[in-house]
Amino acid sequence: MMLDMLAIADQFQVKGLIEYMRQNAQKRAEYYTSMRERFKENDRFQELFEMLDNDDPELAELPYHKKLDFLGFYEDIALMVNSGLLKKPVAHYMFAYYAIRCWESNNFWDNLNRDSPYWFLFRDFVNQMQKVEKSLMQKPHPIRRYKL
């Protein structure tokens, strides 16, 4: 009788763990979808993307609040990566290109101190994404499924 009760308890624990993992994956997908929408549907970001593609000199004249919004978005992505809500390969695939372009743009940083401690999270995110990019470039990778 006691063994039966233990077996039932174990079964409930396993079911609980599976449900927890399913809910966790669903939450990660919801966070990702929300960030992807912010990324794609923000008109200011679209303008910045075009400018960053060419390191447009007008980036130096961009108002501070636009730069702050852009960097803040990427710091939100960095927090999601650091907390495990978003996996590095997914963050790289979906968001890293313009973060790296931004970091490399002297025009964007013309009136900002790139080395300020206030940009540590952004700088760290870019460093992580550059490492992911470097590893992808060094060896051929088969197409793989990214999991949120």
- Cα–Cα distance, 71 to 122 (Å, whole number): 7
Specify if 3 maps to a domain. no
Residue 96 near residue 103, CB atoms below 8 Å: no
pLDDT higher at 21 or 43 = 43
Residue 146 has pLDDT above 60, yes or no: no
Higher pLDDT, 2 or 97: 97
Residue 35 pLDDT level (bands cut at 50, 70, 90): confident
Whether residue 12 is contained in a domain is answered as no
Count Cβ neighbours within 10 Å for each residue of 2-20 and write b for 16 or more, e otherwise: eeeeeeeeeeeeeeeeeee
First to last CA, the chain: 42
CA distance 16 to 97: 39
Determine, yes or no, domain membership for 127: yes
Q: Is the pLDDT of residue 126 over 90?
A: yes
Q: Is residue 89 part of a domain?
A: yes
Q: Flag whether the pTM goes above 0.85.
A: no
Q: Which residue has the higher pLDDT, 109 or 6?
A: 109
Is residue 7 in a domain? no
pLDDT at residue 32 is higher than 90: no
Q: Which domain holds residue 71?
A: 25-137
Are 74 and 101 a contacting pair, CB within 8 Å? Answer: no
- Does 143 reside within a domain? no
Give dist(CA 75, CA 31) in Å, integer: 14
In one-letter notation, the amino acid at residue 6 is L
Q: Is residue 142 situated within a structural domain?
A: no
Residue 19 lies in a domain: no
Task: Please count the structural domains in the chain.
Answer: 1
Residue-averaged pLDDT of the chain: 85
Of 28 and 142, the structure prediction assigns the larger pLDDT to 28
